[in-house]
Amino acid sequence: MNTISTRLALSLLAVLIIMLLAVPSAALADGGEWTWMSGADTVNQSGIYGVQGTPDPANVPGARRNSISWIDGAGNLWLFGGAGNVGWLNDLWRYDSNGHWTWMSGANTAFQAGVYGVKGAPDPANVPGARVGSVSWIDSAGSLWLFGGDGRDGVDNEGYLNDLWRYDANGEWTWMSGAHSALQVGVYGTQGVPDPANVPGARELSISWIDGVGNLWLFGGWGLDSAGNVGWLNDLWRYDVSGQWTWMSGSNTWYQVGVYGVQGTPDPNNVPGARMGSVSWIDGVGDLWLFGGVGLDSVDTSGRLNDLWRHDSSGQWTWMSGSDTIGQAGIYGIQGTPDPTNVPGARQDSSSWIDAVGNLWLFGGYGRDSVGDVEDRLNDLWRYDVSDGQWTWISGANICGQTGIYGVQGAPDPANVPGARESGISWADDAGNLWLLGGGGLDSAGNGDYLNDLWRFSFQNEKYFSCQSPQENFENGVPVWGWTVVNNVPGGPTWGDIVSCGPNGNGGNWTSGLGNAACISASTLTAGPYDAELRTPVFSLVGYSEATISFLMNYQNWAGIDRLTFDISADGGATWAPLRTYTTDQGAFQNTPGVYITTDLAPYLGQSNLMLRWRYHWNTPEALGWYAQIDDAEFKCTETPPTAVTLASLTTQGQVGIGWSWLLALVAAGLALTGALADRRKGQVRPR
């Protein structure tokens, strides 16, 4: 091989390596990247339905807004209906992990009447009518639930609906509750008392959530009250597993003013004002969070709102953030920097997510920007940290009316951003990515109407504990970003750092680690039981051939009373399996050395939605315990080698999580290229 060919090959190899390494550094500076995944970058696209029940790369739902969505146990997205550029729809779609859409149920034409069948009886012929502005849930069995909206009833009349539907694993719809005809009045009964006769009135643009025991919850919207008046509502309903509705809070009449109380203080008298077009979240402890919408404020003025509320397990509302009056401009601060004064502007019809840490995320909607003198569509992305109550402006513009920047489909880019929009749908996947589909907004040319573009927002500067971000030393406190502390016994000891650990655990880091550590102590408790968990973020072992988890610890047991267990979950924290159980001392008492623990995670290779936890607990009145300390938790992972690598495939990698095996493959590709150049000089090319 001559010198020129060698230099050319090595130069090209160096350029490719620099390209691969440069992409992550750009992403890290930005906090995350948007990727245009599917659909069109122009408005008013028709759907490509294909064959019902058959996934196809060519399939794609048509442009639409005010649809509803679910995520099933396998991580698939489900999409139903909405208002499209062709009219109201009742089509049901599934988007799988391969990136393929499947038309599952309903019609591929607009304005279909509902087929109700017999209440409570599933039937392959049943299907909800075309509608817009419904709400949705998914239960513990993976069934999809749908309520109300504005659409077509069982006799093809148009109007507000109060029908409740379930879609099960067999692919059949069941009409569960409510009426098969439109414009039904609410039957409220007695507040707090379930009754088979109770049912919310017909409505659209409510919010919904599901609690830890499987009850469905519904709040507000635009619809009919107990007297048949049509307007904004602030009633809170629960549908329990026995099939009965209970009116829980709020009023049974329209247009109620908000009662805000003192910000940050729960009160049984507090209640958000009547509204529609809000967004909601459920946090890690099962509390509901509600933001904004259009409705009535504390002084009976109507308009768009930016108030943030929490509804807790005691049934009390707390006004957490934002204003108690309408029409507020956004305070954006510095992009990427949390600040107690930051707050999104008043808006309705935004999109929302909750991440693996329990933080609330908000995108776009129709409302006020940083100037606040006009109302229009927005494309700003916000995060609300529930641990410190601060908003952070993450992405997008602080000015209304922004055009979408799509880039190359499937390729993340710091410059990419969805156009300003309202009434899109949203969900989060097992890897913590945020997804956004459609809505009414601006495309790549600045044209405004119905969209069918699918976007993914991937975090690339936050420290999630995983094989790509392998060690946590707790120097930034406990819990650090991405981790959670769960206290299963209120008032008991909880995980914190060394300083907050208690008199028998705060004397120093006794794990043999340096600096801070995670720590818990029950030594000051006089009566039990207690049960507290320190949980990692969700992580994945897909693409790895080996993986271990190691950590330093110092655990002192009190006369066999307390327990420290190290557990793993393969379903995002729903169920747990023990990896190690400690009932005897580990390390020196209130001194070094600690012990070094390594656990093989081979049984979980190839799985996602994994979590780890350290659980300090005991369940009898004899509640004494010394302490437990954890430090320097670390993954050690080996990537599965690629089976075949080409230069074309290597130039598309550009991901933050790129491993050394890819770089080795790149070197191999460079050597192959060097050989090919030498053979071309001889008039030959090696066969591949």
What CA–CA distances, in Å, run from 317 to 73, 193, 270, 311, 325? 30, 19, 5, 5, 17
Q: Structural domain boundaries of the chain?
A: 471-639
In this predicted structure, what is the pLDDT of residue 645?
Answer: 36
d(CA 87, CA 150): 12
Q: Which of helix, strand or coil describes residue 480?
A: coil
Which helix (H) or strand (E) segment is 519 a member of? Answer: strand 518-521
pTM over 0.75: no
CA distance 11 to 40: 38
Fold for domain 471-639? Answer: Jelly Rolls (2.60.120)
Q: Which runs of E-coded beta strand occur in 130-256?
A: 131-132, 135-138, 144-152, 158-167, 173-177, 203-204, 207-210, 216-224, 230-239, 245-249
CB of 267 within 8 A of CB of 316?
Answer: yes
CB distance 629 to 594 below 8 Å:
yes
CA distance 276 to 422: 13
- Radius of gyration of the CA atoms of the chain, in A: 27
* DSSP string covering 559-627: TT--EEEEEEESSTTSS-EEEEEE-S-BS-TTSS--EEEEEE-GGGTT--SBEEEEEEEE-SS-----E
Question: Using an 8 Å Cβ cutoff, are 147 and 199 in contact?
Answer: no
Count CB-CB contacts under 10 A for residue 155.
12
d(CA 206, CA 217): 10
Q: What is the pLDDT of residue 527?
A: 60
- Cα–Cα separations (whole angstroms), residue 432 to 27, 234, 351, 532, 553: 16, 32, 16, 24, 29
**CB atoms closer than 10 angstroms to residue 299:** 11
CA distance 155 to 441: 33
What Å distances lie between residue 555 and 524, 548, 580, 585, CA to CA? 16, 21, 13, 6
Is the backbone of residue 106 left (phi > 0), alpha (psi -120 to 50) or beta?
left
* Residue 391 backbone dihedrals phi, psi, to 5 degrees: -90, 145
Q: Which residues make Cβ contacts (< 8 Å) with residue 498, sequence separation at least 6?
A: 505, 506, 508, 509, 516, 517, 519, 629
- Residues 537-573 have pLDDT tens digits of 888 888 889 999 999 999 998 877 788 999 999 988 8
* Beta-strand runs (E) in 443-499: 448-458, 471-472, 484-487, 496-497
What is the predicted pLDDT for the residue at 468? 63
Please return the burial class of 344, using the count of CB atoms within 10 Å of its CB with bins 0-12, 13-18 and 19+: buried
The pLDDT tens digits for 629-656 are 999 999 999 888 754 433 333 333 333 3
Tokens coding 347: 């808006």
**Percent of the chain surpassing pLDDT 90:** 59
Closest CA to 60 of 25, 21, 108, 27: 108
Instruction: Give Cβ neighbours of residue 258 (< 8 Å, ≥ 6 apart).
Output: 234, 271, 272, 273, 296, 297, 298, 307, 324
CB 394 within 8 A of CB 521: no
- Report yes or no: 445 and 42 within 8 Å, Cβ to Cβ: yes
Say what the pLDDT of residue 444 is: 96
Q: Which residues of the chain have pLDDT under 70?
A: 1-31, 430-431, 460-464, 468-470, 481-482, 523-528, 620-624, 642-688
Residue position matching structure tokens 């951003």: 417
Burial label for 460, CB within 10 Å (0-12, 13-18, 19+), is buried
pLDDT number for residue 31: 58
Helix axis angle, 660-681 relative to 3-30, nearest 10°?
A: 150
Report the 3 state secondary structure along 257-279. Answer: CCECCCCCCCECCCECCCEECCE
* Nearest-10 Cα torsion for 407, 408, 411, 415: -10
Give the β-pairing of 101-105 and 360-368.
Answer: unpaired
